[in-house]
């Protein structure tokens, strides 16, 4: 799998060091409150699992499943919620966790949808944020790493459902993306 990478951006140790910092920041910001983490499946699974074990606060976990990519390396803008019921977040302090902020379509749609469920507050935490203009304005309150506008895989992030189990994050070789289109 590593041979399919053009280059590695962040190895496992670097990612975990950064998670220590973000977790400390989140733990401090929410120190007197109960946190409800909403993880966006499947991309945030690995990130969520490593991050939440670094937050020593009472917290609840819920997951949301959305589809926005349909197996290609570009976003279509359409966000489909795969479950009928939203998690119960009335009066809760919600922290949405996602793998990457790219066009902004996914997080904008999720945030909008969760706001209808009347939480007390909503913040957004992403592992990666691409440096680019977004199709929809979304601000992430916690960001692991800023990256260039390149297609990356690993540590939960996929290309056509593969590479999620790579322990590092790297740029996928371009010819692998074009071949499968
Ligand atoms: P957005 O709606 O364009 O912001 O895209 C968000 C979703 O697209 C993420 O949750 C990822 O699942 C996927 N995505 C965006 N960029 C990448 C990438 O570089 N690698 C893998 N998945 C990506
Ligand atoms: Mg994906």
Contacts of 126 (CB under 8 A, 6+ apart): 97, 98, 99, 100, 101, 107, 140, 142, 143, 144
d(CA 174, CA 181): 11
Contacts of 16 (CB under 8 A, 6+ apart): 50
Place of tokens 């819920």: 62
pLDDT bucket at 87, cuts 50 / 70 / 90: confident
With a 6 Å cutoff on the Cβ, whether 64 touches ligand 1 is: no
- Residues that are catalytic: 102
With a 6 Å cutoff on the Cβ, whether 157 touches ligand 1 is: yes
Using DSSP, state whether 83 is helix, strand or coil. Answer: coil
Query: What are the residues whose beta carbon lies below 5 Å from ligand 2 (ion)?
Result: 43, 69, 158
pLDDT in tens, 138-177: 999 999 999 999 999 999 999 999 999 999 999 999 999 8
Which of 99, 147, 165 is the pocket-test mutation for ligand 1 (most atoms within 8 Å of CB)? 99
Q: What is the mean pLDDT of the chain?
A: 93
- The predicted model scores a pTM of 0.94
pLDDT in tens, 46-84: 999 999 999 999 999 999 998 775 555 566 677 888 877
pLDDT bucket at 1, cuts 50 / 70 / 90: confident
Contacts of 57 (CB under 8 A, 6+ apart): 27, 30, 31, 34, 35
């Amino acid at each position: 799998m590593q041979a399919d990478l053009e280059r590695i951006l962040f190895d496992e140790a670097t990612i975990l060091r950064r998670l220590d910092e973000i977790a400390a920041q989140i733990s401090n910001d929410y120190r007197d409150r109960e946190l409800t983490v909403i993880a966006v499946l499947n991309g945030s699974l690995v990130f969520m699992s490593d991050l939440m074990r670094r937050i020593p606060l009472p917290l609840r976990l819920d997951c949301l499943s959305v589809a926005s990519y349909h197996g290609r390396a570009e976003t279509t803008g359409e966000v489909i919620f795969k479950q009928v019921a939203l998690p119960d977040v009335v009066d809760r302090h919600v922290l949405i966790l996602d793998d990457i902020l790219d066009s902004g379509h996914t997080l904008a749609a999720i945030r909008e949808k969760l706001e209808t469920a009347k939480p007390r507050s909503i913040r957004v935490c992403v592992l990666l944020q691409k440096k680019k203009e977004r199709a929809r304005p979304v601000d992430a309150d916690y960001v692991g790493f800023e990256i260039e506008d390149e297609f990356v895989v690993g540590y939960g992030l996929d290309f056509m459902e593969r590479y999620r189990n790579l322990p590092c994050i790297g740029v996928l070789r371009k010819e692998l993306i074009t071949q499968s289109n």
